[in-house]
Amino acid sequence: MIKKYWMNKLKYFGLFILIWTIYWFPDVIFAYPEIFFKSLIGYERQLASTWLLFANLLISIGLGIFLGVKFGYFKNTLSMFKIKNLLIILMTFFFASILYFVTLTYYSSHFPLAGIAQTQMEYSNQIVFPWINAISFGISSPLFEEMAFRGTIYRFFKNDKLAFILASITFAWIHTGFSPVLLVYLPMSVILTTIYHRRKVLSESILLHILFNTFLPIMFSFLQFLTGIYYL
């Protein structure tokens, strides 16, 4: 019994590492184009590395979906499309948008641009085609991050309260480290974990995460325009 318990722990720890490795593989390849395209320089290298990123994204997303199906991460996905559940996700997104607006406005008013934000901007600027960027941030990131930080952590820790706390903190920390920008990421992480915690349907937190990555910057600009608030 004890052996089975620890083997189960080892399985989900290994699965977490595997998911994270597959997730980061396209980015690591993309980060060092000079290794793969020694004969190319400037825009030609950037273009070639963008297409390489796209190919690797498709492979990694395919592997991620395969793992998710094999290990039951997408159970009860169809129940997500019930009106009640979709409304909860949508209402949560609008609430999160307001919270994001408040926390990010406060953060940007009192702290310099975080390293993570600069890194993301530099990463995005290297990608020639915006739609590939959309696949990376709008599909790949939500899929793998939810599988790792919600799906796997909840399976590793049978205590749901402990899993909730650790999933929320580790997800935020992996994006920010020990930085004041944690003020912005932690509330978003708690919201994502809450959506998963409610019914243990990973597809719901993935969908909300997709909405976050795709529309939160737009909502932030819209709320700035609507309220005229640029400083807190």
Q: Which helix (H) or strand (E) holds 166?
A: helix 160-176
| Domains of the chain, residue spans | 2-227
CA–CA gap between residue 8 and residue 29 (Å, rounded)? 32
Q: Which helix (H) or strand (E) holds 105?
A: helix 83-110
The three-class DSSP label of residue 61 is helix
- CA nearest neighbour of 54 among 109, 136, 122: 136
Find all residues with CB under 8 Å of 210, minimum gap 6, and list them: 138, 139, 142
pLDDT at 17 (0 to 100): 94
Angle at 219 between CA 20 and CA 116, to 5 degrees: 40
The region, left, alpha or beta by phi > 0 then psi within -120 to 50, assigned to residue 83 is: alpha
Q: How many CA within 13 A on the CB side of residue 207?
A: 21
pLDDT at 195 (0 to 100): 97
CA–CA gap between residue 180 and residue 15 (Å, rounded)? 30
Q: Tell me the mean pLDDT in the region 97-115.
A: 83
CA–CA gap between residue 174 and residue 66 (Å, rounded)? 24
CA–CA gap between residue 209 and residue 216 (Å, rounded)? 10
Q: How many CB atoms lie within 10 A of CB 25?
A: 15
For residues 149 and 170, is the Cβ–Cβ distance under 8 A?
A: yes
Using one digit for the tens of pLDDT, what is the confidence trace for 159-198? 899 999 999 999 999 888 888 888 889 999 999 999 999 9
CA–CA gap between residue 35 and residue 24 (Å, rounded)? 17
pLDDT at 122 (0 to 100): 59
Q: Please report the sign of the dihedral spanned by the C-alpha atoms of residue 201, residue 206, residue 209, residue 214.
A: negative
The confidence band for 141, taking pLDDT boundaries of 50, 70 and 90, is very high
The three-class DSSP label of residue 97 is helix
pLDDT at 50 (0 to 100): 80
- Indicate whether 42 pLDDT > 90: no
